[in-house]
Amino acid sequence: MGFLIAAGSAAISGPNRRSAPILGGRSPTLPYIHQHPDWPRFTWSAEALANRLAAVRHRQGVHLGRMQALGFDLRAEANLEVLATEVVKSWAIEGEAIDRDEVRSSLAERLGLELAGLPRPSRAIEGVVAMMLDATRDFSRPLTAERLFGWHAALFPTGRSGLDPITVAAWRPESAGAMQVISGRVGRERVHFEAPAADRLAGEMAAFLDWFEGGDDVDPVLRAGLAHLWFVTIHPFEDGNGRIARAIGDLVLARADRTGQRFYSLSAQIEAERGDYYRELERAQRGGLDVTAWLEWFLDILERAIAASDGTLERVLRKGRLWQRVGDRSLNQRQRRVLERVLDVFEGKLTSSKYAKLAKCSADTAQRDIRDLLERGLLARNEGAGRSTSYRVPDDV
């Protein structure tokens, strides 16, 4: 068994054991794990997790090795693309959409990269990006209540969630009422669990932060899974808890990888498996303090996230080959913007009308740009004619 001990708990020595065992299973009178008398002394089976943990660690090492073998520019581009994906998908998990181009623009400016034709990011986007970079680039800096308050203020610079005023940069107040974790469309919401009452938050977060920066020997990857579950259970803010929980996870994974550059997106994989994510979260909340099943799921989805990042690597390599082909030949900002989008996460086929929309230009200008790109070999025409004519980046790029 593995055991997690809250600050001040006494340890009991024994083989592969650091505290007295806690019985698993749901108590009929205690619907949520934070109501358990031994909360938050989580337990898990190290033996059951060993093979999964080894597989994830191996895949991490292989993937990071491939990324380190890239040149500086391509590695920086991969980091930017993964961070942009992480930000956009973390919001998508909450059912909110944000402009990917604005996110990339903010990231590029803060990372010292030049990307032509991107829009000026809004204040809200700047705050989201600032939080993500603080979590990943400054991963060795201790996580404190003040740092979390700063992240929360960055997420809600106007002091509002949508149109509703909320308490910012402080634990949620009693006046906010019961905090329920809900998913689903309006009118068809599902309540997954109810978080601890506001009067418990100071003590709950103190225990969490003491453990988070403690010196136990929990593997950093397991620590990421435990931290996510623990923080989401407490739900200390009026809004933004899921996004901050995922930023905390990125911080821990950056510590595990020993680099502030991110080359895989856990949020992207969670968003792809959003239904399973909420089911596993609810299952963990309504069980006992044995979190083996939650950690098994976390390790599995993390391994799939790392595997999925191979697609990001291929897109970055294609971009590198494309700009190498461009060389010293000048392109206008419209052309660069569209080529970036086609090689990024473009959905469907590129037509002249889509080009005009992406480049924010007239149909005639779009046609001239496309003809120029075709002549340069930077676009190729797909089969079809007339209105169905579409284009792609050549296969040999």
Distances from the Cα of 371 to the Cαs of 318, 326, 355, 363, 377, in angstroms? 21, 15, 12, 12, 10
243 is in an annotated binding site: yes
277 is in an annotated binding site: yes
Q: What is the DSSP letter of 121?
A: P
Active-site option among 34, 63, 192, 235: 235
245 is in an annotated binding site: yes
Distances from the Cα of 96 to the Cαs of 91, 155, 229, 375, in angstroms? 5, 13, 22, 40
User: Which residues are paired to 381 by β-bridges?
Assistant: 391
How far apart (Å, rounded) are the C-alpha atoms in residues 204 and 211?
11
32 is in an annotated binding site: no
How far apart (Å, rounded) are the C-alpha atoms in residues 301 and 313?
19
Distances from the Cα of 47 to the Cαs of 52, 217, 250, 303, 340, in angstroms? 10, 16, 25, 18, 46
The secondary structure element, H or E, covering residue 391 is strand 391-392
382 is in an annotated binding site: no
Q: Is 228 a catalytic residue?
A: no
Task: Say how many CA atoms lie within 13 Å of 226 toward its Cβ.
Answer: 24
248 is in an annotated binding site: no
On whether the CB atoms of residues 236 and 120 are closer than 8 A, the answer is no
How far apart (Å, rounded) are the C-alpha atoms in residues 138 and 370?
43
How far apart (Å, rounded) are the C-alpha atoms in residues 136 and 305?
17
- For residue 84, what are its two tokens? 């942009």
134 is in an annotated binding site: no
Burial class of residue 324, CB neighbours in 10 A (0-12, 13-18, 19+): exposed
5 is in an annotated binding site: no
Cβ neighbours around 176 below 10 Å, total: 14
In order, the DSSP letters of 134-196 are HHHHTTTSPP-HHHHHHHHHHH-TTSEETTEE---SSPPPGGG---EEEESSTTS-EEEEEPP
* Antiparallel, parallel or unpaired: β 164-165 and 160-161: antiparallel
How far apart (Å, rounded) are the C-alpha atoms in residues 238 and 235?
8
- Which residues make up each annotated binding site for ATP? 239-246, 277-278
- Which residues make up each annotated binding site? 239-246, 277-278
Give the residue numbers marked as catalytic: 235
